[in-house]
Amino acid sequence: MTMLDIFPNWLLAHGPAFLMALPLLLAAITAILPNEKIAWFSSFAVTLICTVTAFALALNNIQNGVSVYPLGGWDPPHGIALVIDALNAPILVLIAFMAVITIIYALPATIAEVEPKKRAPFYAAFLLCMAGLLGMVVTGDAFNVFVFLEVSSIATYTLVAMGASRDRRALRAAYNYLILGSIGATFFVIGIGFLYMETGTLNMAGMARILHDLEGGSRVAKVAFGFIIVGLGLKLAMFPLHMWLPGAYAYSPTPVTTFLSSTATKAALYLLLRFIFFVFDPDFEYVASVLTYVLVTLGVVGMLFASMQAIFQIDARRMLAFSSIAQVGYMLLGIGIATTASVAAGYLHLINHAIIKGGLFLALGAMWYRFGITRISDFKGMAKMMPWTMGAFTISGFSLIGVPFTAGFVSKYQLATAAAGAGWWWAVGVIVVTSILAIFYIGQALLLAYFQDPPKIEGRTVAKNEAPLAMLVPMWMLVFASIVIGMRGGVIVDASWRAAIFLLGGGQ
Amino acid sequence: MSNTPLNNNDEIDAIHPAAKPFLFLGKQSVKQNFMWVVLAGMMICVVLGFFFPQKHPLPIEAYIPGSWAVFGFLAYSFIVLCAPLIFKVLARDENYYEEGGLPDPDYSVEHHAEEERRS
Amino acid sequence: MIDLLSFINPGLWIIIAGAICAFLPVGSLRKALVLAAPIFAAFMIYMIYPFGSEEIIAGKVNFGGIELTTLRIDKLSVVWGYLFCLAGVLNALYGLHEKCRMTDSSALIYTGAAVAGVMAGDLITLFIFWELTAISSVFLIWKGGKRAYAAGLRYLAIHVFSGVLLLAGAVMYADANGGDFAFNYIGLENPGGWLLLMAMGIKCGFPMLHMWMQDAYPKASITGTVILASFTTKFAIYALARGFPGTDILIWIGAVMTCFPVFFAVVENDLRRVLAYSLNNQLGFMVCGIGIGSTLALNGVVGQVFLHVIFKGLLFMSIGAVMYRTGTAKASELGGLFRSMPFTAVLCLIGAASIAAVPMFAAFVTKAMILAAAVEEHLYIPFLMMLFASAGVMEHSGIKVPHFTFFAHDSGRRVKEAPWNMLLAMTLAAGICIVLAFPWGGYQMLYALMPFGEAVEYHPYTVDHVVFQMQLLFAAIFAFTLLKRRGLYPAERRAEILDVDWIYRRVGVGIAKWISAMWAYVSILTKRLRNHAMQEAGRRLYQVFSPTGRLSETAPSGLPALMTAAMLVLILIIAYFVR
C-alpha cells in the first residue's frame, strides 16, 4: 500500500480541474460572505483541499507519469487540456502549500492590516489570485495560460492596493504594478499570438511538436520568443524589468507580500521554463543565444546589483524585495547554463527560495504586527523582544545566505557544482560573491537584533512581546521545512532532477 | 661554606645515620688524594691492555699504547676546556627570555635558602 | 574471554584507566589504578603474544575507506610494549606521594598512548597515538608551574607540528604505494619518506630539532619530568627502527647527535637540563645504531633503549628526589648532599655508572654492541665520534650530576632522605640496571629479548673490552680530578644557556614585535588615506545603490515601459543575429 492509495480515484482523475475550479468558485462566494471569520474558514478549507489535491497529483505523477485531463471532454488540440507532469506538479504543491501557510497567517495579520469591511473581499481576491496561479501552472493551453495570468494579476493588483490602510504608498505601488504587469501580459499574449500564427495551435505540446518539425520555425517564431521572454521577464522581475517589485512587496499587506514573493514570481519562472525548454527547445540557435547572452548576463548583473542595493536599503521589506530580485538572478543563471544539472539547481532554488523568503517575510510581518517595525534600524534588541520570531528570521536568513545544513546551501551548492560542471567557473565566483553580499544585508539586521539592547521608551525597556501562535506556527513550519531540506532534502532534490530530466532528457 | 667535616654536635644530628661512617669523603685530604687512586687504576688498565689487546682495533690503534686512555683523557680535557668559551658565547642572564628564570615557590625553597644565607 | 579482548590494543586499557582517573576523586584508588593499569596491560600483551610466537596482526578497523590495523605485536614492538609498561609501574611508584588528579590521569593516558602507539600497525593509527602522546603529556609540563606554561605551549606546538608532518608524510607515502598505509620499512625513496623522517626526527631530537626537549623537560613538575623522559623519544626511536633501519644518513645524524649535547651539558647549571642533554646524547647512539642497520647494531639499539629508559629514569628520579627535598636542581645551589641523602646518592651513582657504561652496569652490555657494529662496518669516524661522546657521557652524567649534587663543596643544606616510595622506585630501577648487566646469567636475559637474528652472538664481558672501557673511564675521571685541582674545571654559574630555541624564542619574537610595531606605524601613517578612500568608496556605492541613489529613482511607469521595449529589441537582435 503506497501513500497514493489513500486518495480516492475520482480525486486523481478530476484533480486538475478541481485545482482551478474550486478556488475560482469559492472566490465568488467568499466575496459576498458577510462574516470575515466564515470567509477565512472557507478560504482555509479551499487552500487545504487544494494542497491535498496537488500533493496527490504530484504523487500520482511520480508513480504513473504525465497525465492529461481534457476539460469538458474535449480532446486537445480542439479542447483545453490540463496537464500534470514532472515540471508543474511540484510547483502546484508549492503554490497550494504556501497558500495554506499564508491563510493561517492572515487570520491575525488581516485584523491589523486590512480594513474590516474589506476583509471578506480580501480573502476572495486571495482565492482568485491562487486560482489564477494554479490555473496557469496546470493548464496545457497557451492562451489559457494568458487568461489565468491575467486573473491572478488583476487579483494581485487589488491585494497590493489593500495595503493602503497601512501605508498610502501601496496605491502608487499597485498602480505601478498594474501598468507594468499589463505591459508584461500584453507582450506575453502578443507572443502567444505570433506562436499561434506560426503553429496553428494553442496547445503547448502541439506547439512544441510543430516547432520541432519546423526546426525552430521562421522569423515569426523568433519574434514570438522575444515577446514571451520579455513578457514573462517582467512578471518574474528579471533584473532591469524589476521596478514594480520593491514597491509592491514593501507596501502590500504582509500575507500578500509573502504569497507574491513565494508564488507569483515562481509561477512566472515556471512559465519561462515551460516555454524555453518545452515549447521551444534550447537546441534552436536563437533560443540558445538568448539563454547564454541575455538570461545569464541579466541574471548575473541582477544578482550583483540587487544584492548591493539590498545592502543599502533602510526599509527591511525593501531589502528582502531586492534580495528576491537577486535570487531570481540565481534561477536565471541556472536556466541560462541550460544543462540538466543547472536547470535542476535553478528549479531547486526556486522552491527553496519560496520557502526561505516566505519565512523571512512572515517574521518581518510579525514584527510589524507587534511593534510596528519596518526599518532595519528598528531591529535593535529584537532577539530579546521576540525571541521566537527572531529565531525564525535568523534561521531563514542563514538559509538565504547559504549556511550549510539549510535549504539555501543545498541549492546554491548544486548551482555552483552545475556551473563548475559546465565549465562556468566565473559563475561560481559570482555565486560566492553574492552570498557574501547576502551576509552583509542579513547580517546587519542580525547584529542589531542580537547585540543591541531593546530600545527604551519613557525610561523603560520595551518588554518581550512574542507574536501570536497563528503567526509563529506557519513561520516555523517554513523554517522547519528549510532545515529539513538542508539536512536531508532528498525528496525535493529528486523532484528538481525529475523536472530537469523531463525538460532536457537524461543528461548528467 | 666550609669544606671541613662537621664536628658540631647539632649538625651531626642533621646528618643521616647511614651517612655518618662516610663523612670522611668530605675531607679535603680525601678529595685531594682521590686522583692518585684513579691514576693508579688507569695505569693498571693501560698495562693490562698490553696483555689483552683489542680484538677489533682501529687501523692505527694498535700502535698507540693505552689508546682508549689517551683518547679518553684528551676528549675529556677538550670538552672541559671548551666550556669557558661556550659559556662566554651562549650564556645569558637567567631571566633572558623573561619567562621567570627563578623557580616557582610551589616547588622551590631556593629563595628561602638565599634569605638564610644573607641572615 | 581473552580471545574476545585479544584484538584490543593493550595500550587502550591504560588510556581508559587514565580517563577514569580524570573523574576519580579518591586519591588512593587513583594511585592503585596508576600502578595496576600498566601491569594489566603487560599481562594482556603476554596473553595476546606469548613469548616467541608469530607476529600478531589484529584489530582491523575500516575507517573512511582506509583499513587501519590497530594492533600489531611482533618481536620488535613487544620489547617496547613491556618496557613502557615497566616504566609506567616505576613512574607510578615514584609519584605515589603526589596527590594530583591531573598528573595521574595524564600520566596514564600518556603511557597508554605510547604503548598503543608502538603497537600500531599502520601509519594513521600511529599518527593518532603520536598526537595523543603530545597532547596528554603537555599537562605534565604545565604542572611545573607558571614558568612552564609558555614552554608547554611550545612543546605542544612542536609536537603537533611533528604529528602533522607525520600525517602528511603518511598520506604521500601511501599515495605512492597504492593507498597502503601499513607501517613497515619506509625508506627515503619517495618524498613522503622524508616527511616521515622529519616528523620522527623532531620527536627524537635530531640536531637542530632537539630544542623542545631541553626547553620543556626541566620545567615540568618533578614526577612530570621523570614520566616525560620515559616515553616520547623512545616511541620515536621505535618508529625510526621500524621505518628507517639501515638508512645511511641516520649514521651521521646520530653521530652528531651524540657529540653536540656534550658541550651544552658541560656548561649547563640546571641538572635536569643537563640530563635532558644527556638524554639527547643517548638518543644519538640509538639513531646511529639504526642508521648502521646491521643485526648487531639493531639489537644493540633495542637493548640500549630498554636499559636507557631505566637508568635515565633513575637519574631523573634521583635529581627529582633532590629537588623534592631541596627545592632546586641547580648545580650551583647544591653539593655535599650525601650527608643527608646517602641512599639517593648511592642510587644516583648506580645510575651514573649505568649510563657511563661501567662494567657490571647497564649500558656496558648494550652500548658496546652499537660501537662494535660501527667498527664492523668500517665506520671509523662515526665510531670515534661516539667514543668521544662516551667520554662526554662520563663527563656530564657520570661525574657532573652526582658530583655537584652529592659531593663537591658542602652547600650546607641538611634535608631529609627522599620519601620511601621514591627510594623504592629508584632501588627497583637500580636493581634492573645491575641485574641486566650481570655477567653470569644477567645480560643473557636482556639479549633474549632482542628481536633480530636467531640468537645474539655477542659477548660483552671479554677481558679486552672490560680493560679498554676501564681505560677510558679512569682516564676521564683522572682528567676531571686533574683539571679540578688545577682550577681549570669551570665553576657552576647560574645562567640561561642559549640553544636553537633562541631562534624562535628571541629572534622570532623580535621579528614579530618589529612587524607589529611597523604595522602600527604604517597604519597610523596611512590612516587618513585609508579612511578617505573608504569613505569615498562608501559614498559612491551609496550614491548608486541606496534608496535615494541613482538606481532607485522613482521613475514614472513610462520609463520601465520603455525599458521593456528596449529589452525586446535587444532579445530580437540577439535571436536574429547572434549565431
Give C478's contacts in chain B (Cβ within 8 Å): 35, 38-39, 42, 73
List the single residue in C559, C561, C575 with the smallest CB-CB distance to A225: C575
Per-residue pLDDT, C83: 92
* Domain-terminating residue out of C212, C244, C276: C244
Give the position of cell 511538436: A209
C-beta atoms surrounding C402 within 10 Å: 26
Write down which chains contact chain B via at least 3 CB pairs under 8 A: C
With a CB cutoff of 8 Å and minimum separation 6, the contacts of A235 are A149, A153, A181, A184, A185, A188, A264, A265, A268, A271
Our count of domains for chain B comes to 2
CB contact under 8 A, A290 and C571: yes
Taking the alpha carbons at both ends of chain A, their separation in whole angstroms is 33
Write down which chains contact chain C via at least 3 CB pairs under 8 A: A, B
C570 vs A: CB within 8 A: yes
Is it the case that residue B12 has pLDDT exceeding 70?
no
pLDDT-derived band of residue B11, with 50, 70 and 90 as boundaries?
low
Residue C301 belongs to what H/E stretch? helix C295-326
Give C572's contacts in chain A (Cβ within 8 Å): 222-223, 226
Q: Does one domain contain both B73 and B116?
A: yes
Per-residue pLDDT, B109: 43
Q: Does one domain contain both C58 and C93?
A: yes
Nearest CA in chain C to B18: C342
Q: Which is nearest to B97 in space by CA: C149, C262, C226?
A: C149
Q: What is the 3-state secondary structure (H, E, C) of A447-504?
A: HHHHHCCCCEECCEECCCCCCCHHHHHHHHHHHHHHHHHHHHCHHHHHHHHHHHHHHH
> Distance from B56 to chain C by nearest Cα, in Å?
7
Q: Exposed, middle or buried by CB within 10 Å (0-12, 13-18, 19+), for B32?
A: exposed
CB contact under 8 A, B81 and C376: no
Residue type, A25: L
pLDDT-derived band of residue C438, with 50, 70 and 90 as boundaries?
confident
A190 vs C: CB within 8 A: no
> Each residue of A220-256: pLDDT tens digit?
898 999 999 999 999 999 888 888 888 889 889 999 9
- Residues 32-91 of chain B whose Cβ lies under 8 A from any Cβ of chain C: 32, 34-35, 38-39, 41-42, 45-46, 48-49, 52-56, 58-59, 66-73, 75-77, 79-84, 86-87, 90-91
Q: Does one domain contain both C216 and C276?
A: no
Q: Does one domain contain both C238 and C252?
A: no
pLDDT-derived band of residue C557, with 50, 70 and 90 as boundaries?
low
CB contact under 8 A, C340 and B107: no
CB contact under 8 A, C568 and A315: no
What DSSP character marks residue B65? T
Q: Does one domain contain both C151 and C252?
A: no
CB contact under 8 A, A294 and C571: yes
pLDDT-derived band of residue A191, with 50, 70 and 90 as boundaries?
very high
CB contact under 8 A, B46 and C471: yes
C-beta atoms surrounding A456 within 10 Å: 10
C561 vs A: CB within 8 A: yes
pLDDT-derived band of residue B111, with 50, 70 and 90 as boundaries?
very low
Give C475's contacts in chain B (Cβ within 8 Å): 42, 68-73, 76
CB contact under 8 A, B113 and C323: no
Name which of C544, C545, C548, C576 to mutate to probe chain A: the one with the most chain A Cβ atoms within 10 A of its Cβ. C545
Give B14's contacts in chain C (Cβ within 8 Å): 340, 414
Per-residue pLDDT, B107: 46
Share of chain C residues as helix, strand and coil, in percent rounded to the nearest 5: 70, 5, 25
Residue B59 lies in a domain: no
Give the position of cell 680530578: C481
Q: Does one domain contain both C235 and C300?
A: no
Give A315's contacts in chain C (Cβ within 8 Å): 547
List the single residue in C546, C561, C574 with the smallest CB-CB distance to A289: C574
Q: Does one domain contain both C170 and C109?
A: yes
Mean pLDDT over A172-195 rounds to 91
Distance CA C359, CA C439 (A): 9
Q: Does one domain contain both C341 and C434?
A: yes
**Phi then psi for A7, rounded to 5 degrees?**
-85, 135
Distance CA C577, CA C579 (A): 6
Name which of C400, C478, C488 to mutate to probe chain B: the one with the most chain B Cβ atoms within 10 A of its Cβ. C478
> Each residue of C28-56: pLDDT tens digit?
888 898 999 999 999 988 888 887 778 88
Is it the case that residue B119 has pLDDT exceeding 70?
no
How far does Cα C269 stand from its chain's mean position? 22
CB C364 within 8 A of CB C460: yes
B2 vs C: CB within 8 A: yes
CA-to-CA separations, C279 to A160, A302, C225, C451, in angstroms, rounded: 84, 68, 12, 24
Q: Which is nearest to C459 in space by CA: C399, C372, C546?
A: C372
Average pLDDT value for chain A: 89
Residue B102 lies in a domain: yes
User: What is the value of ipTM here, to two decimals?
Assistant: 0.81
Residue B42 lies in a domain: yes
Least confident segment among A76-85, B34-43, C417-426: A76-85
Per-residue pLDDT, A10: 83
Q: Does one domain contain both B48 and B95?
A: no
> Each residue of A22-80: pLDDT tens digit?
998 988 888 888 788 888 999 999 999 999 999 999 988 888 888 888 887 777 777 88
Q: Does one domain contain both C511 and C530?
A: yes
Q: Does one domain contain both C133 and C188?
A: yes
Residue A81, strand partner residues: A70
CA-to-CA separations, C532 to A438, C164, C523, C524, in angstroms, rounded: 26, 44, 13, 13
List the single residue in B75, B94, B104 with the smallest CB-CB distance to C146: B104
Residue A203: strand, helix, or coil: strand
Per-residue pLDDT, B6: 46
Least confident segment among A5-14, A156-165, A294-303: A5-14
A286 vs C: CB within 8 A: yes
Name which of C543, C571, C574 to mutate to probe chain A: the one with the most chain A Cβ atoms within 10 A of its Cβ. C571
With a CB cutoff of 8 Å and minimum separation 6, the contacts of A403 are A409
Residue C66: strand, helix, or coil: strand
List the single residue in C544, C552, C564 with the smallest CB-CB distance to A241: C564
Distance CA A249, CA A257 (A): 5
List the single residue in A180, A219, A315 with the smallest CB-CB distance to C557: A180
Per-residue pLDDT, C293: 87
CA-to-CA separations, C406 to A418, B25, C431, in angstroms, rounded: 77, 11, 21
> Distance from B69 to chain C by nearest Cα, in Å?
5
**Phi then psi for A246, rounded to 5 degrees?**
-60, -45
Contacts across the A-C interface (CB distance below 8 Å): 84
Q: Exposed, middle or buried by CB within 10 Å (0-12, 13-18, 19+), for A35?
A: exposed
With a CB cutoff of 8 Å and minimum separation 6, the contacts of C528 are none
Per-residue pLDDT, A478: 93
Is it the case that residue C511 has pLDDT exceeding 50?
yes
Q: Does one domain contain both C478 and C512?
A: no
Q: Does one domain contain both B81 and B111?
A: yes
What cell numbers appear for A290 in the block? 538568448
List the single residue in A175, A183, A229 with the smallest CB-CB distance to C571: A229
Give the total residue count for chain A: 508
Distance CA A158, CA A123 (A): 11
What DSSP character marks residue C507? I
Per-residue pLDDT, B3: 42
Domain that holds residue C337: 245-492
Per-residue pLDDT, B118: 53
What percentage of chain A reaches a pLDDT higher than 90?
A: 47
Per-residue pLDDT, B4: 44
Q: What is the dihedral of CA A325, A327, A331, A332, to 10 degrees?
A: 40
B7 vs C: CB within 8 A: no
Least confident segment among C500-509, C512-521, C528-537: C500-509
Residue C288, strand partner residues: none
How far does Cα C490 stand from its chain's mean position? 31
Distance CA C364, CA C462 (A): 12
Give the total residue count for chain B: 119
Give the position of cell 634569605: B115
Is it the case that residue C503 has pLDDT exceeding 90?
no
Which has more pLDDT, B29 or A73? B29
Give B85's contacts in chain C (Cβ within 8 Å): none
C5 vs A: CB within 8 A: no
Q: Is the pTM of this model over 0.80?
A: no
CB C429 within 8 A of CB C90: yes
Taking the alpha carbons at both ends of chain B, their separation in whole angstroms is 14
CA-to-CA separations, A86 to A12, A58, B56, B107, C202, in angstroms, rounded: 15, 8, 90, 78, 62
Write down which chains contact chain A via at least 3 CB pairs under 8 A: C
Distance CA A489, CA A495 (A): 10
Distance CA A491, CA C27 (A): 57
Name which of B79, B89, B108, B114 to mutate to probe chain C: the one with the most chain C Cβ atoms within 10 A of its Cβ. B79
> Distance from B74 to chain C by nearest Cα, in Å?
8
Is it the case that residue B113 has pLDDT exceeding 50?
no
With a CB cutoff of 8 Å and minimum separation 6, the contacts of A6 are none
**Phi then psi for C414, rounded to 5 degrees?**
-120, 105
Give B91's contacts in chain C (Cβ within 8 Å): 267, 493, 495-498
Domain that holds residue B97: 67-119
Q: Does one domain contain both B71 and B44?
A: no
> Each residue of C519-529: pLDDT tens digit?
888 888 888 88
Give buried/exposed letters for B75-104 (b at 16+ CB in 10 A, else e).
bbbebbeebeebbeebbeebebbeebbebb
Residue B46 lies in a domain: yes
Angle between helices A119-138 and A265-273 (to 10 degrees): 10
Q: Does one domain contain both C271 and C206?
A: no
Name which of C543, C550, C557 to mutate to probe chain A: the one with the most chain A Cβ atoms within 10 A of its Cβ. C557
CB contact under 8 A, C561 and A184: no
Least confident segment among A77-81, A400-404, B84-88, C507-511: A77-81
Name which of C540, C553, C574 to mutate to probe chain A: the one with the most chain A Cβ atoms within 10 A of its Cβ. C574
Chains A and C touch (3+ CB pairs under 8 A): yes
Residue B10 lies in a domain: yes
Is it the case that residue A304 has pLDDT exceeding 70?
yes
